[in-house]
Amino acid sequence: MLPVPSTLLSLTFTLLLHLTHLPRPVSADVQPFTIYDNVFIPPDYVAARNFSPALGGSQETIRQWANLTVQTAPWTVTSKPIVAPSGDKKDYMSWAPYWWPNCTGVGNTTVLSPYQEWLTCPYYQIDGDFNPYRLTVDDIGAFSNVSDAVLYNALAYSFENTSASNIYSQRIVKIIDTWFLDNTTGMNPNLNYAQMEGGPKGQVGTHTGVLDLHCMVKVVTGILVLRKLEAVDWTADLDSRMKAWTTQYLTWLETNTLGIQECASLNNHGSWCFNQVISLKILVGDTAGAVNSSQTFFQGIYQGQINSTGDQPFEASRTHPYHYRNYNLAAMITNAQLYKYADPSANPWSIKTKAGTTIQDAMDQTMTVNYNTSGEADDIAEIYPNIAAIAATYGDPSGKYVAFLEKGFPEYAWDADFFWNQPLAGSALVDAGAAANGTNGAAAPGKSGAVRTRRLGNVVAAGWVVLSAFVMLL
């Protein structure tokens, strides 16, 4: 390599810092940290605190995200500008993303405000086309933040080798208390007004809205970690109040028509519904129930989700088939991880669908899909955590999973998910790369503040690639 003048180096460094701090569009879909489709981490792995030195970069990323996720904390459903049709401020509410008003036949004589349109005009669906007005009410974005903040702060807490109170556990307590438990700000344990379609007939929730809370799995992971580490801030009182809330919500999920319909959905919606039911049963200590629900999933809708060529027909038919294949993969992976945790003697990873295929077959098929065909280049990053999870679980004897990661996402060892997708670190390539890059137990230089988002894809990913090149120069 040619010697690089130090002035050029520092100029490059300055430019790169600016590049990573470019203003980004702000929406619920774009955050300065990665919102994984879902995350379940066995608490025993975290509590053992026996982490490979190759995980230093991913741990540093998690520490940074623990701080980034709490910037607007705490969150409450009572802060939204509009109250649900029940009139109860504590009712969760969201609007179905793909529904649009059609005011043609309404007979209005003046222009209607978006809110008047929402009350007055019939709504119709355009699959895949987000209605931006839905974000006027952002309980869904707030909950997404709750789940990520709890997850990353619980992991950051575990890195501190303590059970004493610290900033990370204090944040979690405040966030959980405000969102779920506090008498004036806590969400009622139901989703009666989730993903309302809008219009006179759309002032009630739809079963697809149950999806809004699928990242309860991240909250469950965080709480299990605090419990396992005996964090003093996670008191017996908090634990029993959270169990009480969860028990009520589980009853709603399993008896309300919306919950029943959602878990009966044949596609990703059904898979995500089981993510919630299984993880919440684990949280309340109903292990037998968690195993039963896991079996219901794998003997039920899972059977029809992967065909003999490994494709997922219910996702392949959507307008964003690349995204949806990965989305359902993440849900199936999470159900398998939860099942394995609830019953260590089970082997969900080898359970075959009625077409004779496994989750790994679905992964392998998805890796052959060209995201360009459906114009989904922005969604490419969604595949990497799935590949890491599959490689960590099934192994990677031919090296094809690691090769895919190296090619498309060479920074993967700094991604947060690398921390929990273990023993992927066992791959020689990763260990050699991490050691050569000097990441043993420490962050890679220049990575500080670097961020990656899924939806934004290209812009931020470009920042990462340039940054990595710079790291190698050093």
Ligand X SMILES: *[C@@H]1O[C@H](CO)[C@@H](O)[C@H](O)[C@H]1NC(C)=O
Measured from the CB atom, the residue of 7 and 378 that comes closer to ligand X is: 378
Contacts of 206 (CB under 8 A, 6+ apart): 96, 194, 195, 196, 197, 258
- Cα 306 from chain centroid? 22
Question: Where on the phi/psi map is residue 453: left (φ > 0), alpha (ψ -120 to 50), or beta?
Answer: beta
Rg (CA), the chain: 22
Per-residue contact flags (x/-) with ligand X for residues 104 to 143, judged by CB under 6 A: xx--xxxxx----x------x-------------x--xx-
Closest CA to 414 of 467, 374, 357: 467
- Interaction between residue 433 and ligand X (CB under 6 A): yes
* Spatial distance between the Cα atoms of 346 and 349, rounded to a whole number of angstroms: 9
| Residues 218 and 152 sit within 8 Å (Cβ to Cβ) | no
Question: Where on the phi/psi map is residue 375: left (φ > 0), alpha (ψ -120 to 50), or beta?
Answer: left
Measured from the CB atom, the residue of 147 and 337 that comes closer to ligand X is: 147
- Work out the number of other CB atoms within 10 angstroms of the CB of residue 462: 12
Q: State residue 310 phi and psi, 5-degree precision.
A: 85, 0
Measured from the CB atom, the residue of 86 and 309 that comes closer to ligand X is: 309
- Interaction between residue 389 and ligand X (CB under 6 A): no
| Residues 123 and 98 sit within 8 Å (Cβ to Cβ) | no
For the segment 278-297, give every residue that binds ligand X (CB under 6 A). Answer: 292, 295-296
> DSSP secondary-structure letter at 30?
B
Exactly one of 287, 309, 347, 458 binds ligand X (CB under 6 A); that residue is: 309
| Residues 287 and 347 sit within 8 Å (Cβ to Cβ) | no
Q: Which two tokens stand for residue 135?
A: 């974000």
The residue count for the chain: 474
For the segment 220-279, give every residue that binds ligand X (CB under 6 A). Answer: none
CB of 410 to ligand X, least distance (A): 4
Measured from the CB atom, the residue of 7 and 301 that comes closer to ligand X is: 301
Q: Segment near ligand X (CB under 6 A), from 7-15, 39-47, 103-111, 193-201?
A: 103-111
* Spatial distance between the Cα atoms of 165 and 234, rounded to a whole number of angstroms: 9
- Interaction between residue 1 and ligand X (CB under 6 A): no
| Residues 278 and 333 sit within 8 Å (Cβ to Cβ) | no
Q: Segment near ligand X (CB under 6 A), from 4-12, 196-204, 329-337, 430-438?
A: 430-438
Measured from the CB atom, the residue of 86 and 372 that comes closer to ligand X is: 372
Exactly one of 396, 411, 415, 417 binds ligand X (CB under 6 A); that residue is: 411
For the segment 47-66, give every residue that binds ligand X (CB under 6 A). Answer: 63-64
CB of 268 to ligand X, least distance (A): 14
Question: Where on the phi/psi map is residue 457: left (φ > 0), alpha (ψ -120 to 50), or beta?
Answer: left
- Work out the number of other CB atoms within 10 angstroms of the CB of residue 44: 11
* Spatial distance between the Cα atoms of 249 and 230, rounded to a whole number of angstroms: 25
- Interaction between residue 197 and ligand X (CB under 6 A): no
Q: Segment near ligand X (CB under 6 A), from 3-11, 70-78, 170-178, 231-239?
A: 70-78
CB of 38 to ligand X, least distance (A): 17
- Interaction between residue 410 and ligand X (CB under 6 A): yes
Contacts of 38 (CB under 8 A, 6+ apart): 214, 215, 217, 218, 272, 275, 330, 331, 334
Q: What angle do CA 217, 219, 225 make, to 5 degrees?
A: 100
- Where are the alpha helices (H) located in 317-415, listed in sequence order? 321-342, 359-367, 383-394, 400-408
For the segment 438-467, give every residue that binds ligand X (CB under 6 A). Answer: none
Measured from the CB atom, the residue of 7 and 201 that comes closer to ligand X is: 201
Per-residue contact flags (x/-) with ligand X for residues 151 to 190, judged by CB under 6 A: --------xxx-----x---------------x-------
Helix (H, G, I), strand (E, B) or coil at 112: coil
Q: Segment near ligand X (CB under 6 A), from 171-179, 199-207, 212-220, 310-318?
A: 310-318
Q: Which residue is nearest to ligand X (CB)?
A: 433
Measured from the CB atom, the residue of 166 and 256 that comes closer to ligand X is: 166
Measured from the CB atom, the residue of 78 and 292 that comes closer to ligand X is: 292
Block residue for tokens 């344990």: 189
- Interaction between residue 72 and ligand X (CB under 6 A): yes
* Spatial distance between the Cα atoms of 258 and 265, rounded to a whole number of angstroms: 11
Measured from the CB atom, the residue of 64 and 94 that comes closer to ligand X is: 64
The DSSP H or E segment spanning 27 is none
For the segment 83-102, give every residue that binds ligand X (CB under 6 A). Answer: 102
Measured from the CB atom, the residue of 40 and 168 that comes closer to ligand X is: 168
Exactly one of 136, 299, 347, 350 binds ligand X (CB under 6 A); that residue is: 299
If binding means CB under 6 A, how many residues of this protein chain bind ligand X?
49
- Interaction between residue 308 and ligand X (CB under 6 A): yes
Measured from the CB atom, the residue of 7 and 255 that comes closer to ligand X is: 255
Residues that bind ligand X in the complex, under the rule CB under 6 A? 26, 31, 63-64, 67, 71-72, 75, 102-105, 108-112, 117, 124, 138, 141-142, 145, 159-161, 167, 183, 292, 295-296, 299, 307-309, 311, 313, 316, 370, 372, 377, 410-411, 432-433, 436-437, 468, 471
